[in-house]
Amino acid sequence: MINIISSLVVVIASLLTFVPSMQVHLNILHEVILFASIFTVVVTFCKQTGSCCGQSSCGSGCSCEAVENVPKVSEPVVATSVPTTVQKTQADYADAVQLLALFQQKGRLVDFLMEDVTAFPDAKVGAAARVVHQGCRQVMKDHLSIAPVATVAENSPITLEAGYKVADYRLVGNLTGQAPFTGKVVHKGWRVASINLPRPTRDSTELPPIAPAEVEIK
């Protein structure tokens, strides 16, 4: 590229011989030499820095190829933890069976629910329900602490402010917009404040029985 510029300067200088004014000769020659000098500096800078990558003016001495051949540094791979799923066994539900066992023991709840009472007269069903109610209520008193969710009485007005516990309230009726919501308590709800159950005997393969089968030996 520098050789081309030098040849261009010689050609222009030769053409200047046909121009009659010496001052014009010097001015034109000065401009040509200044342009050639600036262009030479730019080309030299491109060759040294490789900034001409992607341009057609890149000469054979350009360092573009060296830049392209530099191996790319791969981005670090961030290891993400995969949540492990704990596989439950039947024995993990023994506490629920234990509670059913207490309701059965004190109030015969399972016997009552497993019986088809559609053919029984209302009086007989009512008498059986009284026994179930008394026994199961006693179990709840002994092993569970039950508390209402809503702190106001039923049919009383209530306002649920923004940020209320969604799991504690089921909204019915004309529900539009965002909290706060104002309405009345239709049912105050229940929650278990505390629980105290006897520890069941756990088996690694199966659930304990709600009630053992009774066998009379003769």
Return the ∠ at Cα 94 (arms to 88 and 100), rounded to 5°.
Answer: 135
Six token digits for residue 217: 């030996």
**Residue entry with tokens 């399972």:** 110
pLDDT digits (tens, 9 = 90+) for 136-158: 999 999 999 999 999 999 999 99
- The pLDDT, as a whole number, for residue 82 is 65
Residues 198, 95: Cα–Cα separation, whole Å? 9
Q: Which amino acid is at 91?
A: A
* Inter-residue contact 63 to 46 (CB < 8 Å): no
**CA dihedral angle for residue 194, residue 197, residue 199, residue 203, rounded to 10 degrees:** -100
- The pLDDT, as a whole number, for residue 19 is 52
- The pLDDT, as a whole number, for residue 53 is 47
- The pLDDT, as a whole number, for residue 57 is 47
Preceding omega of 157 cis (within 30 degrees of 0): no
- The pLDDT, as a whole number, for residue 54 is 47
| Cα dihedral across residues 90, 94, 99, 104: positive or negative | positive
Q: What is the SS3 assignment for 107?
A: helix
| Cα dihedral across residues 107, 108, 110, 114: positive or negative | negative
Q: Which amino acid is at 210?
A: I
Full-model pTM: 0.56
Six token digits for residue 45: 């800078």
62 contact partners, CB below 8 Å, separation of at least 6: 46, 47, 50, 52, 53
- The pLDDT, as a whole number, for residue 63 is 47
Strand stretches in the chain, DSSP E? 144-148, 157-160, 181-184, 190-195
- Cα-flanking dihedrals φ and ψ of residue 160, to 5°? -100, 110
Residues 100, 98: Cα–Cα separation, whole Å? 5
Low-confidence ranges of the chain (pLDDT < 50): 52-67
- The pLDDT, as a whole number, for residue 202 is 63
* Inter-residue contact 154 to 185 (CB < 8 Å): yes
CB count in 10 Å sphere of residue 104: 21
